[in-house]
Amino acid sequence: MCGICGFYDPNHRQRDGAALLGKMNAAQKHRGPDDEGVYLDGPVGLGHVRLSILDLSSAGHQPMLGGDRYALVFNGEIYNYIELRQELEQAGYRFTTATDTEVVLAAYDHWGEECQNRFNGFWAIALYDNQTQVLFLSRDRYGVKPLYYTEKPGYFLFASEIKTLLQDNNVPRIANDKVIFDYLVNGFVDCTAETFFDGILRLEAGCSLRLEQDGKKTHRRYYTLPYKETLIGEAGEQETEAFRHLFRQSVRLRLRADVPVGSCLSGGLDSSAIVCESSRQLREQGAKQMQKTFSSCYQGDPNDERAYIDAVVRQTGAEAHYTYPTGDTLFQDLDHLIYTQDEPFVSTSMYASYCVMKLAHENNTKVLLDGQGADEILCGYRKARVYYIKRLLSAGKLALAAKEIVRYLPYMRKGKNVSLLADLNMMRQFLGKSSSGDIRHRYLEGQFAKRRLTNSYADNERFLLNDFDRIVLPALLRYVDRNSMAFSIEDRLPFLDYRLVEYAMSLPLNAKISDGYSKAIMRRALDMPEPIRRRRDKIGFYTPENSWMAAHSAEYRAVFTSPDFRARRYIDPEKVAADWDSLTRGKDDIGLFRYICLEKWMRIFDVQTA
């Protein structure tokens, strides 16, 4: 796990490439504190900072050269590198390191760009072919590892993080109005190739770029998730066993490391299943010590999940570690959290993950397993249940729809954070209803409020795919990458093994939602304490956002009364300040934290408006 950066400059406009690469490496040193290097040759410059996970020796130094022809910088892990190396050895290749990086070089030489389809893992790759003077960039199937770029005629710049690109003083820091509108109104981020910085793009998941000396640029989608939604189908023991087998294989591959592997543990189904399965496998392997787990808890809060976390710890014998974020610590850390993320984020729940990663770093853990992806492939969100009921009604399955409604009603009424109103609002989006004129526009600047959203749930037949590749998962992957790498930690995601994803997405909806339970097949297939298996509520990395903001109400309100308020193009700060008391009491849910986060982001990164 590392940070990569570089440029492609056939016209040699970059006069001091070595100095630029040095600044870019320094800006993302947190991604790889163990080693760093640069490569310069003709039109290309490559930079790399290394977090040593496989082959901890200097043999894993990057940029890694493949003879006189190739230079590679690589961020990620190819979990099946051992199997690929054996296949490549049979084809005549010889290896001098125990790294997956060397396997990537040989795989590209042997299979060309088709090597992407043979990798099982996550990656961002930049490989320069000195013979053809082609720069090849690739991002993993689901976009777990980031890769950003910006370009001008004859000049292309790329990096693992946006702050790294900004080390080139020629890269403008201009806000992207379209992205900001989607963010403020619906809380959508990372939905497309565009970022909050106008002119800075992300290479999308499952895509590659090929740049040639004559200026030709080829963008290719090498992977598309196969999906055809089925409402009712087989969901018996055969399907359960297949799911169990694929999950166990995924965990086994993700335990491959030359350093200890720990786990995030929230007390929900996903992380609990991961901890239970990895603990089982570690025992089978004769591990001398059980894994460490890291959890975020809130003393005295009704949504604290310590009881569920402790149940997993008792069952597995894991070495548990806890962190206790507060409104005070958030206030102290917020600017660094925003700097870490590069772009605004939706809620303070990102801070729980940030604190967990910090805790793991303090306990000398460099690799963690985490549960991202399970909700998206197994209908884990409340909105998925609402969608399923809607589909049943549309298909005339009235008895089954009524059964699911009855089983789900007690859950829909439970607690202020899980409300029927929230579900009805989501149904409104499913039906394609416009949100114009609602509360979320009231505090926007007048002209800006008239814009139209570019992302929604109105495309009903793409509901699960929307969550997976546009609306939800891309943002979660950005959050966890930045939070983990800010503390030099590699975060591995067993539920995003492409074989498990493809199988889960092929299952009918009734395999995922049944008798009022989400993730039905997972509950049957995987080991976890029974109180967790029977849970119907979903909390995840919860944070008591309203009370946290109330603890520093005056300081947060001062953001909007400052004469240097930067986001005036988007937000009417006087209206926000005037209604501050009602907004902080939650009377009107406008996503107030998003307003604060946007303004602070513009200050921290010195972002201008067009």
Reported as half-sphere exposure (CB side, CA atoms, 13 A), residue 402 has a value of 4
Radius of gyration for the alpha carbons in the chain, expressed in angstroms and rounded: 24
Instruction: Supply φ then ψ for residue 63, to 5 degrees.
Output: -60, 140
CA torsion 141-144-145-146 (nearest 10°) is: 90
Residue 238 tokens read as 């055969």
The residues near 562 (Cβ < 8 Å, ≥ 6 apart) are none
The 292-296 sheet, strands edge to edge: 319-323, 292-296, 261-264, 367-369, 490-492
Active-site annotation holds for 2: yes
- DSSP strand pairing (319-323 vs 292-296): parallel
Whether a cis peptide bond, with omega within 30° of 0, leads into 63 is yes
SS3 181: helix
Largest CA distance in the chain: 72
The residues near 91 (Cβ < 8 Å, ≥ 6 apart) are 110
Catalytic residue among 2, 191, 264, 597: 2
Other CB atoms closer than 10 Å to residue 590's CB: what's the count?
19
Strands (E), 390-462: none
Tell me which residue of 544, 541, 548 sits closest to 301, measured CA to CA: 544
Number of H helices, E strands in the chain: 25, 17
C-beta of residue 45 within 8 angstroms of C-beta of residue 20: yes
Gap between the Cα atoms of 275 and 366, Å rounded: 16
Using the CB atoms, write b or e for 223-238: b if 16+ within 10 Å. bebeeeeeeeeebeee
The residues near 206 (Cβ < 8 Å, ≥ 6 apart) are 139, 140, 141, 142, 143, 221, 222, 223, 224, 225
Gap between the Cα atoms of 155 and 326, Å rounded: 45
Which residues form the catalytic set? 2
